[in-house]
Copies of this chain bind each other. A is one copy, B any other.
């Protein structure tokens, strides 16, 4: 049985969990707080980041959310989540990378830092209002881009449901939990996100809570 090292608001672990859910791969959650830099965890992943997956029977260790997704895409064919022609697969990977880096660096990362990491300190610090404002402004710009994509396509990366939808939903769900998304004016993205939230792969994520901070009131509602 695979074990997945993660914490409830890790967007990269959420991407992996959504993919495992869609593919019907069983796994066990192991709670890890990477900011504590536990020796045993650094031994698994010197970069010190979640997610990490471990399969003891075979002695396999998988590190890095995209490497993990590619692994399960290669070893569990159905449903294919990096699908279509080579050019279409490149478009899926472009958008996965855009959510994993640009969206995370501009929005999810700063919000997690200000609203979660600072509360976890031995001496909790107050969030920086300017950093929060900038992250929420970036969220608006980035959701304008997903609105634009969804105006032209059924799904984030094209005509079919793909890993790009899961990567997007993973980041957006963490930001929504932290109250960082103003849904007004983002009808296309809101409609798409409602569809994502109704999927069985998404439900376990909506039920989880991070100990130091509760979710925005509408967070778990499919119809928000």
Contacts and interface: CB of A to CB of B under 8 A. Distances in A.
A102 B63 CA distance: 13
Contacts of A22: none
Contact of A97 (B46, B67, B87, B94): B67
Interface residues of A, number: 25
Contacts of A98: 47, 64
Contacts of A74: 86, 89
B47 A66 contact: no
A224 interface: no
A121 interface: no
A213 interface: no
A36 interface: no
The 9 closest A-B pairs by CB, nearest first: A67-B93, A71-B90, A64-B94, A64-B97, A63-B94, A67-B90, A67-B94, A62-B90, A74-B86
9 contacts: A47-B98, A47-B102, A60-B87, A63-B90, A64-B94, A66-B93, A67-B94, A70-B89, A74-B86
